[in-house]
Structure 1
Amino acid sequence: MILVTGGAGFIGANFVLDWLALSDEPVVNLDKLTYAGNRETLATLEADRRHIFVQGDIGDVDLVQRLLLEHQPRAVLNFAAESHVDRSIHGPGDFIQTNVLGTFRLLECVRKYHADLAPAAQQAFRFLHVSTDEVYGTLAPEAAAFTEEHRYEPNSPYSASKAASDHLVRAWHHTYGLPVLTTNCSNNYGPYHFPEKLIPLMIVNALGGKPLPVYGDGMQVRDWLYVKDHCSAIRRVLEAGRLGETYNVGGWNEKPNIEIVRTVCALLDELQPRPDGQSYAGQITYVKDRPGHDRRYAIDARKLERELGWKPAETFESGIRKTVAWYLANATWVKNVQSGAYRDWVSRHYQ
């Protein structure tokens, strides 16, 4: 049995779906079901007895302690986080509450649970914390990619809250001996992504005949990682990672945002052309850049490759094609996830 927190969000849900497709080991899935947590993503598991879904907060100490004692997981994987930079700028409080205080309370529950395990179970137990490359700050155009030794320099309320959570995880290992692992990933994309992030937002707006908002000059560079590759990396780190270590997970796909948007438009032109025969690229609209927008992120994932033999299976070209095709084939999921609150957010933020 493993306990996954945030398992109804984008990355967490993909991890749970892949885990149960590849293994019979049951999953307890704890998710608060905020706006980005979507139970519909897990619809194929509704009748699966290997999947135990619990709606709740990682900061709810009584609930977390009860789940740990009742299910006796051999590992806890923490995906639970507020993760949207734009939202963190407009409302940082939720990010401190979940990413910092929530992680602290979760760590304390796990520490007490781990201390009471039998020696063999203690040796086998793992706490895996899923984090982001944004904790490292921004890179100059010609600078070397982030390694695990790079100094933390977070520049947004979101990245600062994730950096704080990373430090807590590290401290709980060095101070209390909690057997932890940390992964820092680059920008994920793929199925079931909430349509406020760049790629799904472009797909949804393009199909809806709406503007495709691009910040500033669109030349902000990110490394792009297909979500199922990220999930396979996490499984590998859980299986064989060295205790207390951090592993960067990236796709070796550095691209500026405007190139991503144009690629999405070209795929939509091919797979679902506009009725008027024009390119979706005509809907691209440049908007004022967001405050403190980091210019470039890049992940050096050679440690993960060298120590654990992991490499991404998808190129960006194969992954983005699968992603666009998935959104076209799952219009009902996209429609259902777009609540009135979501539409109000997009309208207010990008007007």
Structure 2
Amino acid sequence: MADDKLRLAKAIEKKAIEEGFSSVGIAPATLGPKTQQRLQQWLADGCHGDMIWMANRSDERSDPMTLWPDVRSIIMLGMSYAPATDPFALEDISDHGRISVYAQGRDYHDVVKGALKRTARWLVETADCEVKVFVDTAPVMEKPLAEAAGLGWQGKHTNVVSRDHGSWLFLGAIYTTLDLQASTPGKDSCGSCSACQDICPTGAFPEPYKLDARACISYLTIEHKGPIPHKYRKEMGNHIYGCDDCLAVCPWNKFAQAGSANKAFLPRAELAAPALADILALDDAGFRQVFSGSPIKRSGRDRMVRNALIAAGNSGDIALIGPIQALLSDGDETIREAANWALDQLALAQP
């Protein structure tokens, strides 16, 4: 029986790698009380901000069997998106916006879910079982499960760190009724390093291994609706969609090979270094065209233009005054407010 489980685990790994995954492991269908308590405290502290869905289905999130009572094992899979270029390359090019590495190529939801479905379909045909696949949009605690499956460990920046792929892994899960042999869990290897904590522009880490989303640039530029709080605007710099600072500075990235990244995540030219003036000029139709097939499309034009206005206000570039002024009469109130703020900041920056 043990040999059969081992052979099946090896076959699952082989199939997953054929489908584009770079890391595979198996976790038991349980999360320990420490993980559950950590989630409940995080929610109680309000660190999820406006992400109400985190609280609404917290029971299912903290216990896989509550989400699906028949699950017996969870196959965790990681797909590398290690960048070939320096994520900090645009840091000082203030008239261009910085887009998080994960969003510069094809929408990872589509890529990962497609590979998950193909792998799961093969598993059903091979082992006569039931499965459910999840990537990011369900109440699944992918990161603790990835650690339990041996893909890596949940680092001080709260994301998974892999010895082989650094901080650059998309995660997917296959819940199955099969009783599979669990992998050796990942071991925390952050040590005394505090690089990810130290570099955060907005101080979004109240302590190691805890992120306050309300202060996180990724949350503010992607999830947060309405005006960006003034206390974070200058610190946003030219980030217009997400932020890789805490991920990119991780020393374990030196082992990540860009060649191991799934080719679907290669950056599109228009997303790798977008000019702020071009973003500010987008109407809804133009936004949909530029960001077609990108996860950015999910956030919508108004949020992206709002973010670009904050970056424009931080740029010190008077060439952006015209594009900003054109948005003073925009139909979205948040954009109008951000445009006024950006003009004020550019005026203050002039000698």
TM-score, structure 2 length as denominator? 0.25
Decide which structure has greater strand share: 1
Whose relative contact order is higher, 1 or 2, with alpha carbons under 8 Å and at least 6 apart? 2
Structure number, greater radius of gyration? 2
